[in-house]
Structure 1
Amino acid sequence: MRRVRSPCTLVARTTRGHGGPQEVPVAHGDENPQLDERDVSMLDALFTQSPVGLHLLDTDLRVVRINTSTPSMRGVAMESMVGRPFRSAYDIVVDDDMEDAIQEVLDTGVAVRQRVVRARFKRDPSQEGHFEVSVLRLENPDGKVLGVAVTSVDVTERERARGRARVLDAVRRTVGRTLDSAVSCEELVNVVVPAFADVAIVEVVDAVIRGDEPPLAPLPANTPLLRAAYRSVAEGTPIAHPVGDVHRLPGPTPFTRCLADLRARVVSLRPDAPWLAFDPPRAEAILSAKAHTLLAAPLTLRDNVLGLISLYRAGDSPPFDEGDRRLAVELAAHTTLCIDNARRFAREHTVAATVQRHLLPRSPESQTSLETAYLSVTGADPGAWYDTIALSSARTALVVGSVSGKGLNAAATMGQLRTVVRSLSTFDLSPDELLARLYDTAAHLATERANLPLGDPMRREPLTADCVYAVHDPLTGTCTMAGAGRLAPVLVEPDGTVSIPDTPAGPALGSEADSPFAAGEFAVPDGSVLVFTSDPLLTSYLAESSRPLRQSPDYRDRPLQDLCDDIVYALPAGMGAGDAAVIVARVRSFPPEQVATWEFESDPATVALARRNTRTQLARWQIDQDTAFNTELIVSELVTNAIRYGSPPIEVRLVSDRSLTCEVRDSGSAAPHLRHARTVDEGGRGLFIASQLAQAWGTRYTTEGKTIWTEQSFPSLKRRS
């Protein structure tokens, strides 16, 4: 093989290489070793044609030879570089301290391989590049250190693609974790700044935030937009509109054009751009931020406009390019889906809250001995309900419940159960019997849901509900209660003692448990406060650590709504009373002068005595003669029936409240039957006559017997206030 003289003076051995040490010529000079001409040709090709940057440095880190064929070195004369220190020879500024890294390789011989560094060109700081750098120490065959070899590969596009992929992945992981449009917008700007942009702004059509349908493109002129999110790398930069501001986009501008043709666009920001004059506040903010490039992307879904993303780069940041524009389109698409999901949730939430408000009573039915107030329900739990129902004999039923599930279906099921409770309460059922029948109704509704078509999502949602039904009797000073599930009231006694009454809890409505319901009775002294909630956690908190309830005696003569407000103020963050149905009730003693009670023997002669006592009592209450006569007749018929068909003792009680109640109690269990007597019949008209004279009547059963009661309205009564 023919040997030639190479134009290189140094022969170096690269350490830690693959395949063992190799002799490589590294510099020009007068004394040249004899080398194979193919080696020389290879070196010349590497330093003149290779796309990989090659840089040879001596032990003082001065340039010995470079490859001038790479894009970053084109147009650079090698003579102007040779002999210059590394730190000043190149027209780039490297973020990482490469000189220290090269010196370490020179000192230790430990190579640096494929280290990615970011660099900027001194002639144009806005141009940014990424290079994959490897550094090797050079030694001669005797082990003498001759310098270092540095290779660099331009990986700018690859790193930009990786950076865009990281941003997109972060957006997909972070944005949309909640069903809140504003939160999703905040999550987006927090991800893209500073990773992708120096300033990020998200504006959403105001109606979309409220859950309305988005308008079709092009966006109608003067459509209100809400500034949902803003973030900038520079603190204190002036902004055109603060977050939360509702404004309209003047035009024509790149923003209005973007919302018209639904195309993302990169715009170079020049101070003399004519469109800046149409939007002075935004123009002032752009100039103050020294932004040089705008990337505007529409938030669009099926030709509907939900809003706009505006991204800016300022200062030394490189301008947006086509790859950035494509990324912005993907970011906008993901954000749009998140906002639309939140919009649909907000719409369903609004509808469910509206249905709930119309299904629930607007104001409680306060009685003479029981003052009640509701804490407003915000719709966060549309399956929650409360109710107060006036019962016979000055009693009041307090009902609180909660249906599983969310949205409109939960609100509709809640309305069904509340209607059933109201209907059953008219039969004067005991709390445990009422809940047993409500349990059967819930089971029927659950069966109907299970038989829905396979594609109906409601089929996969089990129907369960909790409910507590309590009846307060002011004449006995007690409360009888039964519960389905985990709900129970909090009792605050006049001395400040706070407790949860120990009453048996039955199975939740809709469950498959076979255990029966049981009712419990507890005393409720005058001045006590009862708090019913549909959230067991809230109930436990009120019973254990709530300051307002422990100070409830202070509210004896103050408006009950003050206590409701203080309960809300005292709740910790994340436990709002607005998420639950809440009834607050304060107990008052029933005026004893408005009740009259007599006990009679089972003797027909007592009928006249019962009428005489009734007449005297009604005169004392200043009842008009017509009503008094009707009441005497009712008492006469009911007492006669009790003597004939019931069992002693017989008790008659008159209660003058918002209506006049007549009660006849006996220890018999035979159910009364309303008969329509024929003309020739001598009896069978007693209960019929009572039902015609009274506004309402019914039968209430207890363990001691039964009570037949009637109620007469007050329009004809002339009693003192």
Structure 2
Amino acid sequence: MRHRDGHIIDVRLCVSPLSGQDGLEWWVVCATDKALLPAWPAEATVAEPLLATLPLPSRLPIGVVIRDTHLRCIRVNDTQGSKDGIPVPKRLGRRLTEAAPGTEAETLEALMHQVLESGDPAINVDYQAFLPANGRSNRILTASYFRLDDAQGRALGVCVVSVDATDSRRARERLAILGEASRRIGTTLDVMQTGQELADLAVPSLADYATVDLAESVPLGEEPLAHLGPQGGHIPVFRRAGLASIHPGTPESLFARGEPVFVPPTSPFTGVLRSGKSHVEPMLDASPGTWLDHHDAARAEKIREHAMHSLMVVPIHARGAVLGVAVFVRTEDPRLFEEDDLHLAEELVSWAALALDNARQHLRERSAALALQHLLLPHRATGGSAADVAWRYLPADSHHGIGGDWFDVIPLSGARVALVVGDVAGHGINAAAKTGQLRTATRTLADMDMPPDEVLSRLDEQVTRLTEAEADPRHPAATTMAGTCLYAVYDPATRTCTMARAGHPPPAIIDPYSHVTFPDLPTGEPLGLAPAPFESATLELAEGSVLALYTDGLIEAHDQDTSAGMNRLRAALARPDLTLDDLCSSTVDTLRPKPPSDDATLLLARTRSLSTDQVASWQFPSDPAVVSRARTLTARQLTQWGLEHLAESTELIVSELFTNAIIHGNSDGNSDRTIGLRLIRHEMLTCEVSDAGHSHPLVRHPRTTDEHGRGLFLVAQLSRRWGTRHIPDGKLIWADQQLPTSA
């Protein structure tokens, strides 16, 4: 344009239409000297080409905002308003803090000031939508901020380009939550703990309040029903396993953890149990007239009190059965539960259901193994006249399962007692079954009155046979059945204890003065590993000594070696002030590692001795003429004991056993051999006859025409039980007769 003084000047010219109230069209014309740069150039040198190149919002859902150097909005496309919730008329001509006051707007505006001053862009900045847009709230946007410069590099304003990142952000959050689920749910094999872990993870990442209710059969390890729900008017009992809230003390809950939960007969809960499908109420209605008002007024009051406005009920499935339900509620979070939230909840519950089912299966197997082992262990073990006994058996914890520890107290002939402790490798019901096999075999061998080393040799053969029978022909080395065992026989008549062990820890002996020692016994190889001979050792014990037999679970710990555990056992057993039973409890409580990783067994036996007036013994030459003398001495001794009523039967037993010993005891023809007779009065009246022979007698059923063979048959008829055992210089035949209660 030409200046009034005639020279030419460049101006910026802006012509805009203006609609008046009278319906006439007006024009606004503004001319400005180009040398005076405004905050934003009037011509479309930068902004107009930029906006002109933007595609339609429906084709490219990217929001664009252009702000001047005062950060006032100059240009904005419709897409931006549909995403962050600020409509275009409210945005134009205003700064962000004016259009949507708040802390987040102030933070973003400070960032734009920084971009305007430094020229450095800010890339991928996440922020939350300011106002609900298109009925959706809490949208997450990712924005990038760039400074716009003119040709001379002077700042013209800030351009903001944003995209909706809600879905990708929520997807990342869901993946993060599911990753947490793999680490935090199912850390134990406790169903109640697993339910609590699910509730803890759901709050606050998914809900403000969550509960997990399990059918009562699940914590008990029982088989759940295929479909839970009302059955003949009765709803199965549920128990609260998990409970979490954003508020301390979970004031929203009517039931504490572990308590039975009331389930309304007509409610979304029973509907979920019947159908096995999730139930969602984005807008929870607790107004009068709903199912809550009719069947659960207390729960309705809680819902209104804590402003519970959105609800999800998800069934907990496993192996075609419903284990329980998980409930998720929002209170302070204004968002409504959406389909994505339900998918996340179902994935979390599926993960928890797998852990719950594993825990339930483990609990069921553990209960079966524990029941089997309980049946296989002695219930009323007694040491008779030989010893007072006390024992403790503690199974491993729920994670490791039941082990293969076992023990036994076996009465033997002649008032003796066998004390046994063993440990089969492995855990679970298989170990318990193998334990039962070994205990049965041990009792059978003990009834045969074998010495301890011979018992272990036979047990080793039995373990080898069992292993071979169970071996897989394709992988024979994969099947093993190893175990350790300590077998001891105590004789109260001589106060001697004969022991042998197969890879087992040595026993502890506490003398009457509470000094604890570990005798040096031949170790022996564990059962089932390799054929090896076993050796016995015999010790003489003072009356009132205590034998302590135990398994390695009592002395072993992950941070200590076996010797340190044995020293701890020594200190724990040195308690003269305690009774035998209290000493047993105290020792186990002191030594048992927490948490235990193996079974622990402790068997204590306080020895007794038979007094001199309870035992009578004689030696006779191997001559038929001495039978009469033996009968006379027997009758005289029974009279002294006040057992005259047993004299006749005992004399017959002595006569038959002597005759048998004379006929079969000197097979080598040595006439200098003697025959021993011993009478023992304890809980029974035991008659023992020993000779130099090694052949075991057998009971015969003679024919009417036979002149011999009725001796042992008669002994069996007269006695409660009888048997034979090897002794160092021959064999011994014994017979027990029941004593009257007063004796």
Question: Do these two structures clear the TM 0.5 threshold for a shared fold by scoring above it?
Answer: yes
Identify which of 726, 730, 735 aligns with 1:701. Answer: 726
CA deviation digits over 1:124-171, x for unaligned, max 9? 999212111222344444444444333221111221122222222322
Do residues 714 (structure 1) and 738 (structure 2) align?
Answer: yes
Distance 1:35 1:388, change over 3 A: closer
Aligned-partner residue type, residue 186 of structure 1:
Q
Match of 1:481 among 499, 503, 509: 499
- Give the match for residue 370 of structure 1: 387
The 8 Å contact of residues 309 and 332 in structure 1, kept in 2 or not, is answered as yes
Residues 561, 89 of structure 1: alpha-carbon distance in 2 compared, 3 angstrom cutoff: same
Structure 2 CA distance for aligned equivalents of residues 269 and 338 of structure 1: 30
Question: 2:100 aligned to 75, 90, 95, which one?
Answer: 90
Asked if residue 223 in structure 1 is aligned to residue 236 in structure 2, the reply is yes
State yes or no: 1:42 paired with 2:53: yes
In the TM superposition, what are the counterparts of 1:59-74 in structure 2 within 5 Å? 59=69, 61-72=71-82
- Which residue of 1 is the match for residue 576 of structure 2? 553
What are the residue-to-residue correspondences of 1:468-507 with 2, within 5 Å?
468-507=486-525
- 1:666-697 residue CA offsets vs partner (Å, 9 max, x unmatched): 5x463244475889988777666555544433
1:203 paired residue number: 213
Q: 1:699 to 1:104 in 2, by over 3 A?
A: farther
Question: Which one-letter code corresponds to 2:199 in the other structure?
Answer: V
Cα distance change on mapping 1:665 and 1:317 into 2, 3 Å: farther
The answer to whether the aligner puts 1:183 opposite 2:198 as a matched pair is no
TM-score (norm 2): 0.82
Matched, 1:328 2:349: no
Aligned to 1:566: 586
Contact conserved, 1:595 with 1:655, CA < 8 A, in 2?
yes
Corresponding residue for 1:671?
A: 695
Distance 2:229 2:106 in 1: 47
C-alpha contact 2:241 2:257 (8 A) present in aligned 1 = yes
Offset of residue 422 of structure 1 = 0.9
Rounded Cα–Cα distance in structure 1 between residues aligned with 2:45 and 2:188: 73
Aligned to 1:431: 452
Query: Following the alignment from structure 1 to structure 2, what is the Cα–Cα distance between the partners of residues 194 and 272?
Result: 26
What CA distance in whole angstroms lies between the structure 1 residues aligned with 2:704 and 2:587?
Answer: 63
1:269 to 284, 289, 311: 284
Using the TM superposition, give the Cα deviation of residue 363 of structure 1 relative to its aligned residue in structure 2, in angstroms: 0.9
**Partner residue of 1:281?**
298
Q: Which moved more, 1:210-219 or 1:66-75?
A: 66-75
CA-CA distance at 1:384 after TM superposition: 2.9
CA drift of 1:107 comes to 4.7
Between the aligned partners of 2:457 and 2:201, the Cα distance in structure 1 is 55
Query: Is the CA contact (8 Å cut-off) linking 2:85 and 2:129 kept in structure 1?
Result: no
Given the superposition, is the C-alpha separation of residues 658 and 642 from structure 1 closer, same or farther in structure 2, using an over 3 Å criterion?
Answer: farther
Q: Is the 8 A contact 1:665 1:708 kept in 2?
A: yes
SS in 2 for 1:215: coil
Between the aligned partners of 2:14 and 2:608, the Cα distance in structure 1 is 113
Matched position secondary structure for 1:552:
coil
Kindly state the Cα deviation for residue 31 of structure 1 after the two structures are TM-superposed. 4.6
Larger Rg: 2
2:686 match: secondary structure: strand
1:7 and 1:399 map into 2 onto residues whose CA distance is 109
State the partner residue of 1:130: 140
Displacement after TM superposition at 1:211 (Å): 2.0
CA distance in 2, matches of 1:92, 1:66: 21
1:241 to 255, 258, 271: 255
CA drift of 1:29 comes to 4.8
What per-residue deviation string (whole Å, max 9, x for no partner) do you get for residues 74-119 of structure 1? 8856464345343343377639944444444445444322233345
- Measured against aligned partners, the alpha-carbon deviations of 1:191-237 in whole angstroms (never above 9, x if no partner) come to 22211111111101001221222123251242100101111111133
- Partner AA of 2:123 in structure 1: R
Cα distance in 2 for partners of 1:412, 1:107 equals 80
Alignment match, 2:309: 292
Contact 2:554–2:600 under 8 Å retained in 1: no
Deviation at 1:245, TM superposition (A): 0.5
The one of 243, 258, 269 equivalent to 2:272 is: 258
Q: CA deviation at 1:638?
A: 5.8
Q: CA deviation at 1:397?
A: 0.7
Change (3 A) 1:330 1:643: closer
| Equivalent of 2:608 in 578, 583, 588 | 588
Distance across 2 between alignment mates of 1:369 and 1:75: 91
Q: How does 1:538-549 map onto structure 2 within 5 Å?
A: 538=555, 543-546=566-569, 549=572
Which blocks of at least 5 consecutive residues in structure 2 are unaligned? Answer: 1-10, 16-36, 557-561
State the distance in 2 between where 1:446 and 1:48 align.
75
**What's the secondary structure of 1:207's corresponding residue?**
coil
Counterpart pick for 2:161 among 151, 167, 184: 151
SS at match of 2:528: coil
What is the deviation of 1:244? 0.1
TM-score normalised by L of structure 1: 0.84
Query: What amino acid is the match of 1:430?
Result: P
8 Å Cα contact 1:386/1:400 also seen in 2: yes
Q: Provide the rounded CA distance (Å) in 1 between the counterparts of 2:158 and 2:472.
A: 79
Q: Does the 8 Å contact 1:382/1:406 carry over to 2? A: yes
Q: How has the CA–CA distance of structure 1 residues 74 and 363 changed in structure 2, closer, same or farther, with 3 Å as cutoff? A: closer
Q: What amino acid sits opposite 1:699 in the alignment? A: T
Kept in 2: contact 1:93–1:122 (CA 8 A): no
Cα distance in 2 for partners of 1:678, 1:48 equals 114
Matched, 1:32 2:32: no
Contact 1:296 1:310 in 2 (8 A): yes
Given that residues 7 and 28 in structure 1 are in contact (C-alpha distance below 8 angstroms), is that contact kept between their aligned partners in structure 2?
no
Q: CA deviation at 1:276?
A: 1.6
Aligned counterpart for 2:617 among listed residues 597, 607, 623? 597
Identity of matched residues, %: 34
Q: Does the aligned pair in 2 maintain the 1:271–1:287 contact within 8 Å?
A: yes
The aligned counterpart of 1:660 is: 685
Code of the aligned partner of 1:658 = E
Secondary structure, counterpart of 1:287 in structure 2? helix
User: What residue identity is the alignment partner of 1:481?
Assistant: M
Residues 426-446 of structure 1, C-alpha deviations (whole Å, 9 max, x = no match): 111111111111111111111
In the alignment, which residue of structure 1 is the partner of 2:655? 633
Paired position in structure 2 for 1:20:
none
- Is the 1:661–1:709 contact (alpha carbons within 8 Å) kept by the matching residues of 2? no
Contact 1:182 1:229 in 2 (8 A): yes
Tell me the CA shift for residue 373 of structure 1. Answer: 2.4
Q: Is the 8 A contact 1:218 1:261 kept in 2?
A: no
- d(CA) in 2 for partners of 1:515 and 1:317? 76
Supply the distance in 1 between the matched residues of 2:191 and 2:437 (Cα, whole angstroms). Answer: 32
3-state secondary structure, aligned to 1:375: strand
Alignment partners' CA distance in 2, 1:448 and 1:101: 78
Are residues 269 and 679 of structure 1, via their aligned partners in 2, closer, same or farther at CA, if it must alter by over 3 Å? closer
- Which of 304, 309, 323 is the aligned partner of 2:326? 309
Query: 1:348 and 1:75 mapped to 2: Cα distance?
Result: 58
CA drift of 1:293 comes to 0.6
Check conservation: 2:657, 2:712, Cα contact below 8 A: no
**Cα distance in 2 between the residues matched to 1:80 and 1:584:** 88
Paired with 2:333 and 2:573, the residues of 1 have a C-alpha distance of 63
The aligned counterpart of 1:391 is 412
2:190 and 2:359 in contact (8 A); partners too = yes
Q: Deviations over 1:582-625 (max 9, x none)?
A: 32222223223211233455666655554443333222112223
Q: 1:586 to 1:675 in 2, by over 3 A?
A: closer
**Structure 1 residue 302, shift from structure 2 partner:** 5.4
